[in-house]
Amino acid sequence: MAEIQLKSLAHSYEKSPSGAHDYALREMNHIWDQGGAYALLGPSGCGKSTLLNIISGLLTPSEGEVLFDGVVVNHLPPQKRNIAQVFQFPVIYDSMTVFDNLAFPLRNMKIAEAKVTTKVHEIAEILELHPVLHKKAKNLSADEKQKVSMGRGLVRDDVSAILFDEPLTVIDPQLKWKLRRKLKQIHEQFSITMIYVTHDQLEASTFAEKIAVMYGGQIVQFGTPRELFENPNHTFVGYFIGSPGMNLIEVETTATGVRFDGIDIELSDARNEMLGNIPSTNIKVGIRPEFVHVWNKPTDGAYECDVQHVEDLGTYKILTLKLGEKIIKARLDEDHAVPQQKAYISFPEQWLKIYVDEYLIGEDLV
């Protein structure tokens, strides 16, 4: 088992980096507890693959340290770190059968053939690969190949962490479900540390116990899917998590709350006091489409807005509304009646977040 620690870790692909923009990973300190299922979530170019490769040993960080169970492993290659990695596209040894593919790591470690057979069968059982065990690996479908790739990581007893680099990219959406469930079951069964890199927030949320959201080379928030959803502490997290993402509106403060486009939103006294003491002018309020209350008729405390577009997504609908000059999206259940031209919306204060300079503040005041 491995507790993985990152100490003052940073990485630049440049030989002599001159500023923050030269860094693919900006200085971070982080601990991944052993046996956890984690996701590294972020848009392309945020540094998540770089971080994964540093953890696995395929890349040596230019600054800082990577520690496995307290031991610095910066210069240890992957084979010495007891990790396994599953790549974006299935990596299998074409000329071998599935059985030989799974047996390969064990044979390389010179393990007795009898033990190899037992272990391979065990893993094949879990991954439901028995039907194709003696077929040539190159003739399998994409998801079967990916399972073989995963299997090679699982056969080894000494694996303390498995790293996944967007492993479901080539898999059909219908089958992604099955593989995700498989991964979760494997995690529950083996309790191995698993780190999963993806740009798909649904994938990350359903797999991980805790998600590290990355943006611009930094871990912007590390929390459970629920925490990230209900309390995003950076506007980027608000935007990136949730489909659609959080509504973010630039506002200016008033005596009673905030205002934009002539529309006033009242806030609690405690919050107004806090806002009064802030010098910055970069203030935004955010509310998730799921928490916007929508009515068909004029209601006390609700703002009137124009319905621009209704997207019917089967289990729910997305309303695109215009309030003042701003676009607000609201999410309605399938059963909810859909307003036609005008809608009336309100923002329950407990879900209305305030962001100053992109960071969440005043949570304790609600």
Partner 1 sequence: MSLKLDNIDQVVNGQHHLTSVNLSLEPGSFNVLLGRTGAGKTSLMRLMAGLDKPTTGKIIMNGADVTGISVQKRNVSMVYQQFINYSNLTVRENIASPLRLAKTSEAEINKRVMETADMLRITEFLHRYPLELSGGQQQRTAMARALVKDASLILFDEPLVNLDYKLREELRFELRELFKARNAIAVYATTEPNEALALGGTTTLLHEGQVIQSGPSAAVYREPVDVHAADLFSEPPINLIPGDVTDNEVTFDESVHFPLHQDLKSLTPGGYKFGIRPSHIGLVPSNDDDLEMSMTVELAEISGSETFLHVKNSHFNLVMQLSGVHAYRSDATIDIYLPVHKLFVFNLDGKMIQSPTRLIRG
Partner 2 sequence: MSKVENNKAWWLVLPVFLLVAFSAIIPLMTVVNYSVQDIFDADHAVFVGVEWYREVLLNERLQESLVRQFIFSFTVLAIEIPLGIAVALMMPTKGPMASVSLIVVAIPLLIPGNVVGTIWKIFGRADVGLLGWGLNQLGIDYNYAANPLDAWVTVVIMDVWHWTPLVALLCYSGLRAIPDAFYQAAAIDRASKWAVFRYIQLPRLKSVLVIGILLRFMDSFMIYSEPFVLTGGGPGSSTTFLSQTLTKMAIGQFDLGPAAAFSLIYFLIVLLVSWLFFTTISEMDKDK
In the complex, which residues of this chain contact partner 1 (CB under 8 A)? 43-45, 172-174, 177, 180-181, 184-185, 188, 199-202, 205-207, 225-226, 228-230, 239-245, 288, 290, 311-315, 333-335, 337
Nearest to 161 by CA among 73, 99, 228: 73
With 0-12 CB in 10 A as exposed, 13-18 as middle and 19+ as buried, what is 312?
exposed
| Interatomic CA distance for residues 313 and 59, integer angstroms | 42
Q: Residue 98: what are its φ and ψ, rounded to 5°? A: -60, -40
Residue 109 contacts which entry, partner 2, partner 1, none (Cβ below 5-8 A, type-dependent): partner 2
Nearest to 82 by CA among 27, 160, 149: 160
- Please name the residues in contact with 247: beta carbons below 8 A apart, sequence gap of 6 or more: 286, 287, 288, 289, 292, 328, 329
Per-residue DSSP letter, 160: -
Residue 172 contacts which entry, partner 2, partner 1, none (Cβ below 5-8 A, type-dependent): partner 1
Residue 78 contacts which entry, partner 1, partner 2, none (Cβ below 5-8 A, type-dependent): partner 2
Pseudo-torsion of CA 106, 112, 113, 115, nearest 10°?
Answer: -80
**257, 272 contact by CB (below 8 A):** yes
- Please name the residues in contact with 179: beta carbons below 8 A apart, sequence gap of 6 or more: 143, 146, 147, 167, 168, 171
Q: Which is nearer to partner 2, 49 or 221 (CB)?
A: 49
Residue 85 contacts which entry, partner 1, partner 2, none (Cβ below 5-8 A, type-dependent): partner 2
Tell me: does residue 139 bind partner 2 (CB under 8 A). Answer: yes
Q: How far is the CB of 80 from partner 2 (least distance, A)?
A: 9
| Interatomic CA distance for residues 358 and 284, integer angstroms | 8
For 328, the token pair is 């607000």
Tell me: does residue 54 bind partner 2 (CB under 8 A). Answer: no
Q: Lay out the site mask for partner 2 across 148-177 (x = CB under 8 A, - = otherwise).
A: -x--xx------------------------
| Interatomic CA distance for residues 339 and 90, integer angstroms | 47
Q: How far is the CB of 177 from partner 2 (least distance, A)?
A: 25
Q: How far is the CB of 294 from partner 1 (least distance, A)?
A: 15
Tell me: does residue 97 bind partner 2 (CB under 8 A). Answer: no
Instruction: Tell me which stretch binds partner 2 (CB under 8 A): 78-86, 203-211, 219-227, 266-274.
Output: 78-86
Q: How far is the CB of 285 from partner 1 (least distance, A)?
A: 19
Instruction: Tell me which stretch binds partner 2 (CB under 8 A): 73-81, 111-119, 181-189, 272-280.
Output: 73-81
Contacting residue, 61, 105, 225, 245, with partner 2 by CB under 8 A? 105
Tell me: does residue 237 bind partner 2 (CB under 8 A). Answer: no
Tell me: does residue 136 bind partner 2 (CB under 8 A). Answer: yes
| Interatomic CA distance for residues 97 and 146, integer angstroms | 14
What is the binding site for partner 2 (CB under 8 A)? Answer: 56, 58, 77-79, 83-85, 87-89, 91, 93-96, 104-105, 108-109, 136, 139, 149, 152-153
